[in-house]
Chain A
């Protein structure tokens, strides 16, 4: 009988409940059930990130390391290549407003639930399933300056044949090609976020606006967009994190970071330093910089999501 009594009491009187056998079982099982995930994350995520912090202050070569303190960071920030890398990351940020505006506009069109909207939604979201490696191979064909290049054929057919840009061949334009590809592939994800946001808006608000004689443009600007603010912020942050930490495979296949350091972003720089240059210490230092950047952005995200609860 004590078991049943304790169970009935559980939500109330916490102090008394902790002494009961059922509460003890609950605590024991709670800890036991947490152990697998804690062990996995601890050993394969938290320890390595701790090591990255430690080695960021050393001249690690993969085998031995010497503590050099903040000199490691000084060296890194004095490295002109690293400055280029940070600039590239800053330029990547410029792609994000476009990666938001386009899907937002299309989501607005689809949200009218015109005939076939489900089909369009599926098709626009499809690139989410495709790997960056595949996207990169296709993008190379698209930006190919030769006769077979898709962009070139497109320009030829639209009377712009006098202009044959070769974005991938130049240090200052390769990143633009990467950004265009990035915008293409995050289009669907952001559109889904906006559609989810629009579905939370009460239909009555629209009806009321219509009664008041508001046109569809007014409704869009005055009602939909303000109510979507939270979702726009969410999409912004997700896109930013993707741009900073998920484009490695795209860059390695599409440009290999080049020409020069033209399309090397921070995450690619880390890989290159560690695994092609054997500068594991520099890689770790840059890894901490990336971690801090992404962590700061994520913190903003948490505040954004919390603030409107």
Chain B
């Protein structure tokens, strides 16, 4: 009896998990299925066609937008990594008199919601002529990503034992060389975490792109996707095809580097 009851309950658990799986994966199936239908086929509810994909590449400079997204995302990640590894090393290992205060400021900056600072940010950068240039968007994305990345790097460096540095100093290395030769290589897991988190965040962002990259030539894929309804009213298959193209790179990054993403989330929690 007990065996049967256990089997029945484990079957129930699997049925539940499969239902959740369907709910979570359904959007991807929907995007795939609908993108291979023309608009009339969509209303008919059946059929297969490449018309939508053909139209999508005619309507949007997909390749160019993907390139823009890649360029902006990678450059922003590089800036974020540059400032957060150095900053994290300074705040986590080279503590000086005001480093505690600086760390508190970094943490407060983490709590600033984007919408609360985006209006003056936009006006300031517009005055400087940063709108519709890659570097404007890169600057904003870097600033938005830097606080959490620095927080992560600082807590990571703090956990590394002090004697690693001391041994290197005794060997005659200066603090700058300790950073390049020892601290950076040791931080590779944390660097990967920051890079993956930021990739997904920046790739998927709309607001910054919408404000700071208004010309079609500079638009990211996410911004391009958002313009589909305005250009092709109620062309739902095209919306789905565009969605699929824009979602794919981030999904691939997710699938490959999943564990770093999980770690980033749980690292944000511990202290």
Contact = CB atoms under 8 A, between A and B. Distances in A.
A and B: interacting chains = yes
Question: Interface size bucket, B side?
Answer: 35 or more
Query: Dominant SS at the A interface?
Result: helix
Contact of B143 (A27, A44, A253): A44
B96 A30 contact: yes
A218 interface: no
A23 B116 CA distance: 40
A138 B265 contact: no
Given A41-B106, A129-B254, A131-B247, A287 B13 contact: no
A166 B146 CA distance: 42
A33 B112 contact: no
A141 B247 contact: no
A169 interface: no
Contacts of B94: 26-27, 29-30, 33
B132 interface: no
Most buried by A among B10, B109, B111, B140: B111
Interface in B244-265: 246-247, 250-251, 253-255, 258, 261-262, 265
Contact of A48 (B23, B45, B121, B207): B121
Interface string B92-109: 001111010010011111
A252 B225 CA distance: 13
Contact of A106 (B20, B43, B118, B250): B20
B190 interface: no
Given A29-B90, A128-B261, A287-B119, A41 B143 contact: yes
Contact of A34 (B90, B247, B271): B90
Contacts of B262: 125, 192, 196
Interface of A: 3-4, 7-8, 10-11, 22, 25-27, 29-34, 36-38, 40-41, 43-49, 51-52, 55, 62, 106, 109-110, 114, 120, 122-135, 137-138, 140-141, 147-148, 150, 184, 187-189, 192-193, 196, 231, 234, 241, 244-245, 248-249, 252-253, 266-267, 270-271, 274-275, 280, 283-284, 287-288, 290-291, 294-295, 298, 302, 305, 309
Given A124-B20, A249-B207, 16 more contacts: A22-B169, A25-B174, A26-B94, A33-B87, A40-B79, A45-B117, A46-B109, A133-B206, A133-B225, A134-B31, A135-B27, A140-B239, A184-B23, A193-B269, A267-B113, A294-B116
